[in-house]
Amino acid sequence: MNINATLIGQTIAFAIFVWFCMKFIWPPIVGALNERKTRIADGLAAAEEGRREKAEAQERAAKTRDEAKDQAQEIIRRAERRETEMVEEAKVTARTEGERILAAARGEIDKEINRAREELRQQIASLAVAGASQILTREVDGSAHSKMLDDLANEL
Amino acid sequence: MASEKLTSTGYIKHHLQNLTFGQHPDGTWGLAHGADEAKEMGFWAIHVDTMFWSVFLGALFLWLFRKAALRASADTPSGFLNFVEWVIEFIDNNVRSSFSHKNAMVAPLALTLFVWILLMNTMDLVPVDWIPMLASLAGIEYMKVVPTTDPNATFGMAFGVFALTLFYSIKVKGPLGFASELTMQPFQANNPILKIIFIPINFFLEFVSLIAKPLSLSLRLFGNLFAGEMIFILIALLFSGGIVFALAGGVLQLAWAVFHILIVLLQAFIFMILTIVYLEMAHSHH
């Protein structure tokens, strides 16, 4: 247990070790640790940001959905109203049309009746004339009695 | 182990003798055979075993940590790198809490001291006869495997720390500031005559406290580890005392080894913390 030059050797070894540690060991490891620290902090911040964005998006989606629901409701309501309107309109149109057709048909019928009546009258008249002329060929002069025959035809 | 004179005293003496290389009184250089020869070599001799084990363990520390440093990245650490990072964070926290100035040297210094001393102390847990026995088989007469039980090693580190405290004291406070710190306190006076009278008293007090720092630093470590080693040697002596003593020795060996783990760790930690504190004192003005 003598104090000797080992003391100097130990001091030198110590100095070299500290120098080496300071130069080649401490900086890379502490650098890596610090880098990791920042990376973790960034990651946490990003996660927080993502969470916030997700909440916002959810809120937005809910709002959009509600709006869409309202719009759909409105469209349905409008469609229903339009449907009733259309039915009413169709009813009115149908009625008018029916009435028009009815009127037209009535007119036609009247016209036909008149025409038929006229025709009938003329035919009866001519038949009567023909009959009468058959019967009265000899005594009745067609021209002399045509006035009376015309009156008869008008009465029919 | 010395072959013929295997007495208790001889055994203890043998275990406490460093493998010394130096100049014999007759002028030749070589290893000392025995304590007397080692003493005769004077200051310019070297403890080969202390140097070997301390440099070997220091290199081991640097190699392991350098390997980790090369692999260090911001990605997920694994295995040994994890452990290294844990040690570094532990040191970094200690330095941060005790050292408030900016100095890139203090933390690596603390790390080196802590791990190196821890490794050297841990050699104490290797059973005391193993390595000396192997060495004697290889023809090496003496082998002291715990460098921190050699005061040269502890003083060497403490002087390194002391030199740094002096350097930073002068660098931070200036030569005059440092001188006034040594002479103008703790006794202060406004009277110029009284001031001059106080200078030598202050200087004496401050100088003693200045010198006490490296001295206590190295002696504390040396004393603890030397005492621990001594007890291991004494326990080892029990193994030659018959079966009962050998059994008791085994139990004691185990108990002391477990307790010694605490001392091994604690002394390394204390050395490191005190170094940080001394450097903090060197950086701050009173």
Q: Is the residue at B199 inside a domain?
A: yes
Q: Of B11, B18, B12, B6, nearest to B152 (Cα)?
A: B18
Torsion of Cα atoms, B169 then B173 then B175 then B180, to 10°: -100
CB contact, 8 Å: A15 with chain B?
yes
Give the chain B residue whose CA is nearest to the CA of A21.
Answer: B108
> What does the alpha-carbon distance between residue A130 and residue A128 come to, in Å, rounded to a whole number?
5
> For residue range A98-116, what is the model confidence (pLDDT) as tens digits?
999 999 999 999 999 998 8
Instruction: Show residues of chain B in contact with A25, CB under 8 Å.
Output: 62, 65-66, 69, 108, 111
What b/e string do you get for A117-153 counting C-beta neighbours within 10 Å, with b at 16 or more? Answer: eeeeeeeebeeebeebeeeeeeebeeeebeeebeeeb
> For residue range A59-100, what is the model confidence (pLDDT) as tens digits?
999 999 999 999 999 999 999 999 999 999 999 999 999 999
CB contact, 8 Å: B156 with chain A?
yes
Q: Is B193 exposed, middle or buried (0-12, 13-18, 19+ CB in 10 A)?
A: exposed
* pTM exceeding 0.90: no
Q: Is the residue at B186 inside a domain?
A: yes
Could you give phi then psi for residue B170, rounded to 5 degrees? Answer: -70, -40
CB contact, 8 Å: A41 with chain B?
no
* Among the partner residues B22, B46, B160, nearest to A14 by beta-carbon distance: B160
Task: Kindly list the catalytic residues of B.
Answer: 216, 220, 224
Residue B114 in tokens:
């802590």
3-state secondary structure of B7: coil
* Among the partner residues A6, A20, A32, nearest to B51 by beta-carbon distance: A6
> What does the alpha-carbon distance between residue B241 and residue B243 come to, in Å, rounded to a whole number?
7
CB pair distance less than 8 Å for A4 and B89: no
Q: Is the residue at B193 inside a domain?
A: yes
pLDDT of residue A1: 59
* Residues B236/B132, Cβ–Cβ less than 8 Å: no
**Domain that includes residue B204, residue range:** 49-128+146-283
Task: Count chain A–chain B contacts defined by CB atoms under 8 A.
Answer: 135
Residue B164 in tokens:
């740094």
Q: Is the residue at B8 inside a domain?
A: no
Q: Is the residue at B25 inside a domain?
A: no
The position carrying tokens 């016209």 is: A111
CB contact, 8 Å: B230 with chain A?
no
CB pair distance less than 8 Å for A29 and B69: yes
3-state secondary structure of B227: helix
The low-confidence residues of chain B, meaning pLDDT below 70, are 1-6, 286
Q: What is the ipTM of this complex?
A: 0.87
Angstroms from B54 CA to nearest CA on chain A: 8
CB contact, 8 Å: B89 with chain A?
yes
Number of domains within chain B: 1
CB pair distance less than 8 Å for A13 and B74: no
Q: Are strands B46-47 and B20-23 parallel, antiparallel or unpaired?
A: antiparallel
Q: Is the residue at B40 inside a domain?
A: no
Q: Is the residue at B9 inside a domain?
A: no
> For residue range A4-56, what is the model confidence (pLDDT) as tens digits?
888 999 999 999 999 999 999 999 999 998 999 999 999 999 999 999 999 99
CB contact, 8 Å: B103 with chain A?
no
Whether A141 shows a pLDDT value over 80: the answer reads no
CB pair distance less than 8 Å for B84 and A32: no
> For residue range B194-241, what is the model confidence (pLDDT) as tens digits?
888 888 888 999 999 999 999 999 999 999 999 999 999 888 888 887
Q: Is the residue at B53 inside a domain?
A: yes
